[in-house]
């Protein structure tokens, strides 16, 4: 009990005066252990400085706001009257704990108890509440505060932040009402206020009202700053009024030449303008700015170029960003590592790996060091273009970097080579290169090489590498190694050898097959029309206490259906899959496709409806399978009936659904020789 802990007098001869400011008890039971040395002190409730400090320490030093609330509740029950310091400590602590909703409620409770902090404290507390970014709740607190303290006027900064939050929340009408109200309260808007509200109207597409505010701003004798112009320009370009947008841009450049304006505001305005031009597709304007730099000394050229590169990359214009790099280098500036990595990555992603390689070579001259991920993307792009010479040069450069994990660099390159599936010589050359450079291949390296050979259907080379691993020349094989080899053997039809590796070699080497290995074997056996062997492997898997997953069941059902054993697949569903409760949309899709392929459309519909009745929610793909089959059978009524059932279950048709239905109507028109009505 807190009463015992702090030894508060119980006042047995008088009834305690209850203070209307009352908090609910917290459920937390934590007790700061270092408060026990106060237990010997018998402090009366009237010792306000002591209890104020105690509450403050709980909130700040010990970060235990629940204990502070519990103590304050107990004190209030015994006649203690909280003051603004107590309330301030509590609200600050709640905000620090991200309990903003509770902080708002505590402030409202304090006001309803006529506990009104001074003006400075009110502004500080409102600032803390604004961090919650819940403008409606904070606005309710301010309105309640004004009822009890009519002469209180929030600072201009608080008004601006609240208006901005309302605009971000698309509540521009409330923001404008607040804008008008602050003027009535004697708090005159500044450039930030007008810019914030103009930005709000631009966000909702109301350029007309934004222009009225802009004109009102100038009529009041207030000069728009650079950020005001850039915000307005964004709205003008969004409406495709290029002529007026260019006119405003000229005024923006003139405004930026004002040396009295804050450089941070100029930088923000420039960044906002470039972002706007890239988002709206005015890339020629960006290049014009990059070549002429009309902002003068208002914004440093290095910052301007860097932000252009960033915005162009975000817009997917990586070739354009590389053009800005050229202009930047021409003026003697060095692009940042981040900007360069972004461009190279973007170029490789959109198929411009040759230009990316050119930038890579140019970057070496000024000390560019690509990140590991950029290196990965670049060599993968070059390997797709079959330009292994350039890819090898990138590899050599990365190997010469200091403090580099050389084995990992080789592994990344080997994975890139495997993407081609037609160059076994390069795989062997890299493996030899590793050994010549005294870089020992690890199991990941060798697994990558084996996987590459298997993809190229060069199973003998893969088995040779496996043999070397098993003989101790390299790292010992793991489960991934054997799984890859088994999949490779099944792909080339060497079923018995694959099963021998699974049932004999793996146990001998101490590798226990997992569900991934068994899934690979099952997929390969069904693919090569060995359904009986596949079911034997599944039974072996169960006997080995390996738990099947939904992928396992999908492979089995799909394989049985493809093998013409639909009835066995249905029994497998009833006896194994459904009781296991391990099934997902892929399993349902396999069964539905099997039933439709076997001409059992009605059974497929019944199966789907039974799933729904059992509490399962099929996805859009499951419904599309049935709709597609109905359309192929010319069952227009049934197709739309399934569509209706899908909507009843909360799913909306996607592009595939509409494409299927469109084919149905095209087939009907062809059958009857009719065309669409011009209406």
pTM summary value: 0.70
Buried b (16+ CB within 10 A) or exposed e, 450-465: bbbbbbbebbebbbeb
DSSP per residue, 602-666: HHHHHHHHHHHHTT----HHHHHHHHHHHHHTT-HHHHHHHHHHHHHTT----HHHHHHHHHHHH
Q: Region 655-668: what's the mean pLDDT?
A: 81
Q: Is 616 exposed, middle or buried (0-12, 13-18, 19+ CB in 10 A)?
A: middle
Query: What span, in angstroms and rounded, lies between the C-alpha atoms of 414 and 448?
Result: 7
Query: What span, in angstroms and rounded, lies between the C-alpha atoms of 561 and 572?
Result: 11
- Residue 473's pLDDT is what? 87
What confidence tens digit (pLDDT) does each residue in 240-279 have? 999 999 999 999 999 998 888 899 999 999 999 999 999 9
CA atoms 90, 91, 92, 95: torsion sign = positive
- Residue 257's pLDDT is what? 87
Q: Which two tokens stand for residue 392?
A: 């090898």
* Residue partners of 376: CB distance under 8 A and separation at least 6: 412, 416
- Residue 514's pLDDT is what? 93
Q: Region 659-664: what's the mean pLDDT?
A: 86
What confidence tens digit (pLDDT) does each residue in 485-507 have? 999 999 999 999 999 999 999 99
Rounding to the nearest 10 degrees, give the CA dihedral for residues 621, 627, 630, 631. -110
- Residue 5's pLDDT is what? 35
Whether the pLDDT of residue 156 is over 60: the answer is yes
Whether the pLDDT of residue 482 is over 90: the answer is yes
- Residue 7's pLDDT is what? 36
Query: What span, in angstroms and rounded, lies between the C-alpha atoms of 75 and 69?
Result: 10
Confidence of residue 332 (pLDDT cuts 50, 70, 90): confident
- Residue 25's pLDDT is what? 33
Highest mean pLDDT among 25-34, 243-252, 401-410: 243-252
- Residue 350's pLDDT is what? 86
- Give the residue with greater pLDDT, 197 vs 474: 197
Rama region for 221: left / alpha / beta (φ>0; ψ in -120 to 50; rest): left
Q: Region 68-91: what's the mean pLDDT?
A: 90
Query: What span, in angstroms and rounded, lies between the C-alpha atoms of 244 and 237?
Result: 8
- Residue 667's pLDDT is what? 59
- Give the residue with greater pLDDT, 258 vs 40: 258
- Residue 670's pLDDT is what? 52
Whether the pLDDT of residue 119 is over 70: the answer is yes
- Residue 668's pLDDT is what? 52
Whether the pLDDT of residue 31 is over 90: the answer is no
Confidence of residue 8 (pLDDT cuts 50, 70, 90): very low
Q: Region 209-234: what's the mean pLDDT?
A: 93
Confidence of residue 336 (pLDDT cuts 50, 70, 90): confident
Confidence of residue 42 (pLDDT cuts 50, 70, 90): low
* Residue partners of 9: CB distance under 8 A and separation at least 6: 42, 44, 45, 78
Please provide the average confidence, as pLDDT, over all residues in the chain.
87
Long-range CB pairs of 49-52 (<8 Å, 24+ gap) are 51/75, 51/80, 52/83, 52/85, 52/86
Q: Region 59-65: what's the mean pLDDT?
A: 91
Number of neighbouring beta carbons within 10 Å of residue 505: 17
Of 18-32, 159-173, 566-580, 657-671, the one with minimum mean pLDDT is 18-32
- Give the residue with greater pLDDT, 306 vs 678: 306
* Residue partners of 626: CB distance under 8 A and separation at least 6: 592, 596, 601, 604, 605, 608, 642
Cα separation of the two ends of the chain: 81
Whether the pLDDT of residue 41 is over 80: the answer is no
Confidence of residue 37 (pLDDT cuts 50, 70, 90): very low
- Give the residue with greater pLDDT, 100 vs 422: 100
- Give the residue with greater pLDDT, 673 vs 470: 470
What confidence tens digit (pLDDT) does each residue in 528-582 have? 999 999 999 999 999 999 999 999 999 999 999 999 999 999 999 999 999 999 9
Whether the pLDDT of residue 676 is over 70: the answer is no
Q: Region 41-49: what's the mean pLDDT?
A: 77
Kindly state the percentage of the chain with pLDDT values over 70.
92
Domains and CATH numbers, the chain: 1-152 (1.25.40.10)
- Residue 114's pLDDT is what? 87
- Residue 47's pLDDT is what? 87
Confidence of residue 30 (pLDDT cuts 50, 70, 90): very low
What confidence tens digit (pLDDT) does each residue in 98-113 have? 999 999 999 999 999 8
């Amino acid at each position: 009990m807190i009463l015992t802990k702090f030894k508060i007098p119980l006042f047995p001869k008088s009834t305690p005066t209850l203070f209307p400011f009352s908090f609910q008890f917290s459920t937390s039971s934590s007790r700061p252990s270092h408060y026990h040395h106060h237990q010997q002190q018998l402090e009366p409730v009237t010792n306000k400085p002591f209890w104020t400090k105690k509450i403050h320490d709980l909130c700040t030093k010990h970060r235990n706001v629940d204990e502070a609330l519990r103590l304050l509740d107990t004190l209030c029950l015994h006649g203690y009257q909280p003051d603004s310091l107590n309330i301030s400590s509590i609200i600050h602590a709640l905000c620090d704990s991200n309990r903003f909703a509770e902080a708002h409620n505590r402030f409202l409770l304090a006001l309803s108890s006529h506990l009104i902090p001074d003006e400075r404290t009110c502004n500080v507390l409102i600032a803390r509440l604004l961090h919650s970014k819940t403008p409606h709740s904070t606005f309710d607190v301010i309105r309640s505060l004004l009822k009890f303290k009519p002469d209180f006027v929030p600072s201009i900064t608080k008004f601006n932040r609240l208006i901005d939050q309302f605009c971000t929340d698309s509540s521009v009408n409330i923001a404008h009402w607040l804008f008008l109200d602050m003027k009535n309260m004697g708090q005159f808007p500044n450039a930030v206020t007008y810019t914030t509200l103009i930005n709000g109207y631009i966000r909702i597409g109301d350029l007309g009202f934004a222009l009225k505010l802009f004109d009102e701003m100038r009529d009041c004798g207030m000069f728009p700053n650079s950020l005001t112009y850039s915000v307005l320009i964004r709205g003008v370009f969004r409406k495709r009024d290029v002529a007026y947008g260019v006119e405003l841009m000229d005024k923006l450049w003139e405004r930026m030449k004002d040396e009295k304006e804050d450089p941070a505001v100029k930088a923000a305005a420039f960044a906002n303008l470039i972002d706007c031009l890239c988002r709206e597709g005015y890339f020629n304007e960006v290049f014009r700015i990059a070549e002429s730099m009309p902002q003068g000394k208002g914004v440093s050229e290095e910052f301007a170029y860097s932000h252009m590169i960033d915005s162009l990359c975000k817009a997917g214009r990586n070739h354009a960003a590389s053009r800005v790099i050229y202009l930047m280098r021409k003026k003697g500036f060095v692009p940042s590592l981040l900007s360069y990595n972004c461009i190279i990555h973007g170029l490789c992603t959109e198929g411009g790996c040759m230009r990316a390689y050119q930038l890579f070579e140019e970057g070496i001259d000024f000390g560019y060091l690509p990140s590991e991920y950029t290196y990965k993307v670049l060599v993968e792009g070059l390997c797709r273009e079959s330009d292994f010479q350039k890819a090898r040069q990138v590899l050599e450069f990365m190997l010469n970097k200091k403090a580099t994990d050389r084995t990992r660099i080789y592994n990344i390159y080997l994975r890139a080579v495997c993407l081609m599936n037609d160059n076994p010589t390069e795989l062997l050359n890299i493996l030899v290169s590793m050994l010549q450079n005294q870089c020992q291949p690890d199991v990941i390296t060798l697994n990558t090489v084996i996987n590459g050979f298997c993809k190229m259907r060069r199973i003998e080379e893969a088995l040779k590498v496996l043999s070397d691993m098993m003989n101790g020349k390299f790292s010992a094989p793991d489960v991934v190694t054997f799984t890859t080899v088994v999949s490779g053997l099944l792909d080339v039809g060497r079923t018995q050898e694959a099963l021998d590796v699974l049932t004999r070699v793996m146990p001998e080497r101490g590798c226990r097959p997992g569900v991934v290995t068994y899934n690979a074997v099952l997929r390969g056996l069904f693919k090569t029309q060995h359904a009986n062997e596949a079911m034997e492997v599944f039974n072996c898997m169960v006997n080995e206490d390996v738990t099947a997953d939904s992928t396992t069941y999908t492979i089995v059902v799909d394989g049985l259906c493809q093998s013409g054993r639909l009835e066995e697949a249905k029994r497998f569903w009833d006896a194994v899959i459904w009781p296991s409760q391990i099934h997902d949309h892929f399993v349902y899709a396999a069964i539905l496709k099997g039933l439709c392929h076997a001409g059992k459309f009605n059974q497929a519909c019944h199966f789907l409806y039974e799933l729904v009745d059992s509490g399962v929610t099929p996805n859009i793909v499951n419904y599309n399978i049935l709709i597609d089959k109905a359309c192929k059978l010319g069952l227009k009524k049934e197709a739309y009936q399934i569509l209706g059932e899908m909507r009843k279950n909360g799913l909306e048709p996607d592009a595939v659904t509409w494409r299927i239905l469109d084919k149905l109507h095209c087939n009907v028109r062809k059958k009857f020789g009719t065309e669409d009505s011009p209406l």
